[in-house]
Amino acid sequence: MTKIIFPLILLIAFSYGNSQDESSLSKSIIGKWKMVKVLEISEDVTEKHNPDNSRWIIFKEDSSFESGSAEKKENTGRWNINETKKELYLDSDAGEDDDSYWEVSFNNNLMDWKGRRFEFNKRFEIVHEKVEKNVLMKESKK
């Protein structure tokens, strides 16, 4: 009986570990995301912050990011996720005043950010829609 139960336990543990890895925030965030909604204190201010409906952000596997609007890259930096707190940290190359913390959640192809830590940041919630996966793989094929 032990010969059957032990391998079964290992198989279940291995399967669970792999499914957890696949659904981690760090893996889910990789790709290009289009900004679709911005709320400030629950008021829709999308038109103010994304007037041309063209803002985007790309999260790369090497923990770097790029953001901009239309075809123009406007910012770069590094990102990090605290998986336990579900918190995204953006270390912007635009300077310390542009760094930010966000609570991140996913719903299918949507990613929701809720501002954390800084009073100004806490006023905002931003929704992004995934437009491309595996950005690094596409770039390396060029």
Report domain extents, the chain.
26-141
Structure-token pair, residue 39: 């709320």
Q: CB-based contacts of 119: which residues, under 8 Å, 6+ apart?
A: none
Please state which CATH number belongs to domain 26-141.
Answer: 2.40.128.270
Confidence of residue 141 (pLDDT cuts 50, 70, 90): very low
Residue pLDDT, tens place only, 58-110 = 999 999 999 999 888 898 999 999 999 999 999 999 877 889 999 999 998 99
pTM for the predicted model, two decimal places: 0.74
Taking phi over 0 as left and psi of -120 to 50 as alpha, with beta for the rest, 6 belongs to: alpha
